[in-house]
Amino acid sequence: MPKPDINAILKRIEELERKSQILEHFEETINKLSEQVEKMVTISINLQAKMTELMIKMTDLVEGVNEMVELLREASEVELDQIKEAGVTLNVGPLIEEVRKLQEQNKEMVKALKGLEKYFKKMYTRELITKAVKGYEEGYVL
């Protein structure tokens, strides 16, 4: 039986040690990436919850403004009826104009909310994830 060459065996051992180190480094990198993905998922869930909360609050706000406008409209009608009964003339033009302004503001608020929603979706999908990963790489804890 031929004797194996000691130099060949040593060379093979060194090669196996190098491959082992590469695999260990690869495993560390995979673990770091896994942690980053877990953090991104957590950020995603938190952001979605905050966006939902914001949309609910904005919807409540818009409903409240609509109710207020309706109450103002009803109050002005009651007041107008009382004034008519008293025989006094009243110029309701400015009041109607104010109600129209409130309606316009309400419409603008809805447009702004839609724009805000689009902005959050863009930020959520690009910038926030990028910043979260960069922050994690720099050692910031979420």
- Please compute the mean of the pLDDT values over residues 12-23 and round it to a whole number: 89
Domain boundaries, the chain: 6-137
Can you give the pLDDT at residue 105?
87
3-state helix, strand, coil in the chain (%, to 5): 90, 0, 10
Average pLDDT, the chain: 79
* pLDDT score of 132: 62
pTM for this model (two decimals): 0.44
pLDDT on residue 87: 67
> Which conformational region is residue 140 in: left (phi greater than 0), alpha (psi within -120 to 50 degrees), or beta?
beta
- The pLDDT of residue 42 is 87
**Tens-digit pLDDT profile for residues 101-120:** 888 888 888 888 888 777 77
Q: What is the pLDDT of residue 142?
A: 45
pLDDT of res. 95 = 75
* Cα distances (angstroms) measured from residue 129 to each of 39, 40, 83, 125: 10, 6, 61, 7
Instruction: Give the model's pLDDT for residue 7.
Output: 85
**pLDDT tens-digit series, residues 58-101:** 888 888 888 888 888 888 777 767 767 776 665 667 878 888 88
